Structure formats: C-alpha cells, structure tokens
Amino acid sequence: MAVFVFDIDDTLYRRGDAYLCAYHKVIGAIPGVDDDTVIRVSRHWSDLEFDRYGRGEISMEEMNILRVQHTYHEFGIEVSEERAKRFQDAYKQAQSDMQLLPEMRETLLYLKKKKIVTGVLSNGESAHQRFKYHSLHLEELIPEENVLVSGDIGITKPDPKIFRVFEERTGAPRDEYWFVGDSPENDMDGAAAAGWHFIWIRWEDQYPENHNRRTRIKADHILRGTDGILEIVREIVG
C-alpha cells in the first residue's frame, strides 16, 4: 500500500502569501517590480542561504538576515540588519494565519479515510517547521510521529539519508513511497536518489514552463500548483 509524504512550504500552504505580507509591510512595493518577481528572487536567495546554514557556515539568525538583504539588493535596496529582523518578525507573524491549501486538505482527508500512511518530510529548523505543522492543524490529518524535520537530525534534503530515516520510522517497502513537493532540487532530486516516486507541485511564479529546473530527474506526475492532486492520489491508491 502506498505511503504519501509531503513537504510543507509551498506544498501544503503557499509560503509566498505570508512572504508578501511581510514584504509590503516592511519593504513596501518596489516600482516596476511585480510580486511574482519578488517571490522568485526571494526563493532563490532563501535556498542558497539555507544551503549555507545546512553546511554549518552561518547561523539561523544570519541566514534570515542575509536572505532578505540579498533579495532586495537585487532591486537596488539596501536593507539593514535591524530592518531584516523586522522583516523576519513580520513574516513569522503572517505565518500564524497560514491556511492549508483546500486541495491538500481534501487529499489528506481522503488518505485518512482510506487509512493510508502519511507523513511530513521538511527542511528547516525543527521548532519553526513544527510551528507550521500545528498552525496548519495538520495534527488532525498527519500523525506527529510521522513528521521528520531536517533540524531534528542534522540532515537536509536532497540527501537520501533523511529519506532513509523516514523509511526506518514507517517500515514500508521503498517502492511504495510517494513524495509530494515543490522543489526540483531538494524534493525531486532527493526522492529520486532515495528510490521514491515523486509528484511535483509546480508553481508558475517560481518555476515557469521555460525555467531551468537544474535537475534532469523526471517527476512521475507534474501538476500546476495543487490542482488535480486528489485525482492523482486516488489513481495511485487505486
């Protein structure tokens, strides 16, 4: 029987919604720059600085400051450390109001009804990702013992070792795992290296059709956002 494992950010909820709240509150709209461009640039720098954090080169606080500073430097705006910290505070506050995407709620309810094993596998600092887990009320749909955050064990996606840790916790045959995520580099490459199936949640504002995904791995299924996820999961469960 299939096991479905989900990323959190930009998979179960839209991270960009909270980010844009902080952006408009602390930075203010940049003339001539649309919100999709801001999200795309911020995602680029967030991934780069998270990689440095994962390698132990910078602290969590430094990562949060640098990813804001680098993002807005690209638009000709220099952001002080104090302002970057205010941005992070506003971003976290906005995340308190995050909502589980409707299609994902329907899918998780279906899997729960079918008694299918589900889990979360997410990169990030443990307390912060678990804050999101509870803010989204995922404890009603995904058992907390099946939540694994890179900060718990010091291993980040795409390293297949973190997928192996999840396998050890749930004990299903490897070819029954399906990972659902948005990042080609972290999620798709990691799942492929671990021998898992993969459903790519592709957001147009982050990965347009002509975007170089920096990976040659092919997803089992590619969706435009979360539209159609329930139908795909029903087909897999069969």
CA angle 199, 200, 202 (to 5 degrees): 150
Residues of the chain with CATH 3.40.50.1000: 3-13+99-237
Is the pLDDT at 152 greater than 70, yes or no? yes
Q: What is the CATH number of domain 3-13+99-237?
A: 3.40.50.1000
Distances, alpha carbon 102 to alpha carbons 109, 163, 206, 230, in Å: 11, 27, 20, 10
The predicted pLDDT at position 211 comes to: 54
At residue 167, the pLDDT reads 97
208 falls in which pLDDT band (50, 70, 90)? low
Q: What is the pTM of this model?
A: 0.84
Can you tell me the mean pLDDT for 158-169?
96
* 63-121 tens-digit pLDDT: 999 999 999 999 999 999 999 999 999 998 888 888 999 999 999 999 999 999 999 99
Answer whether CATH 2.70.98 is correct for domain 15-95: no
152-173: average pLDDT: 95
Residue carrying structure tokens 């079918």 = 114
Chain centroid offset of residue 157 CA: 11
Residue 45: enclosing H or E segment and its boundaries? Answer: helix 35-54
Stretch 161-185: mean pLDDT: 95
What CA–CA distances, in Å, run from 208 to 18, 123, 149, 202, 203? 21, 23, 28, 8, 7
Closest by CA position to 50, among listed 183, 164, 170, 172: 183
Quick check: 216 pLDDT over 70? Answer: no
pLDDT reading at 1 higher than 90? no
Among left, alpha and beta (phi > 0; psi -120 to 50; other), residue 55 is alpha
For residue 108, the model assigns a pLDDT of 98
- The residue type at 206: Q
What's the average model confidence in pLDDT over 186-195?
Answer: 94
pLDDT score recorded for residue 54: 83
* pLDDT at residue 159, as a whole number: 96
| Average pLDDT in the chain | 92
Burial environment of residue 192 by CB neighbours within 10 A (0 to 12, 13 to 18, 19 or more): buried
